[in-house]
Copies of this chain bind each other. A is one copy, B any other.
Amino acid sequence: MSISSRFAVGIHILTLLEVNKDEVNSSEFIAASVNTNPVVIRKIMGMLKKAELVYVRPGVAGAELARKLDEITLLDVYKAVEAVPENELFSVHGNPNPQCTVGRNIQAAVLPIFAGAQAVMEKALAHVTIEDIVQSIEEQDKQIE
């Protein structure tokens, strides 16, 4: 299956917090930009908060980034929103038959390869920061008239 869109929404939220930092970013406002329900935003915001990427307080409207723009990578967001369960991008069938040569060795054969593929993917995400996204968005927006 695809990786949850929570990841893309998380990036959207953090980017918005920067671009719109002079206004009050309530969950309702953010939800209007993402085009979803405010509760969805609050849930994702809770995950971002737990990962110490944003600063939010119960009762008080608006959220802010908890780190500098270039200190939040997409990998941070990816992990924060649990885009993938338990660090397992690939799932492996459990309990193959230990009486079969292939069955008793397939997991050990396949796991390091999956780990490697996952690692290069995550590294690609780690090279991009929210600052890059903000820049990209502002540049693109200039070209729209």
Contacts and interface: CB of A to CB of B under 8 A. Distances in A.
Interface of A: 1-5, 7-9, 11-12, 15-16, 19-20, 32-36, 74, 84-85, 88-97, 100-106, 108-110, 113-114, 116-118, 120-121, 123-125, 128, 133, 136-138, 140-141, 144
A103 B141 contact: no
A93 B12 CA distance: 10
B121 A88 contact: no
Given A16-B100, A34-B96, A2 B1 contact: yes
A4 to B, nearest CB: 7
Max chain B Cβ within 10 angstroms of own Cβ: one of A101, A108, A109: A109
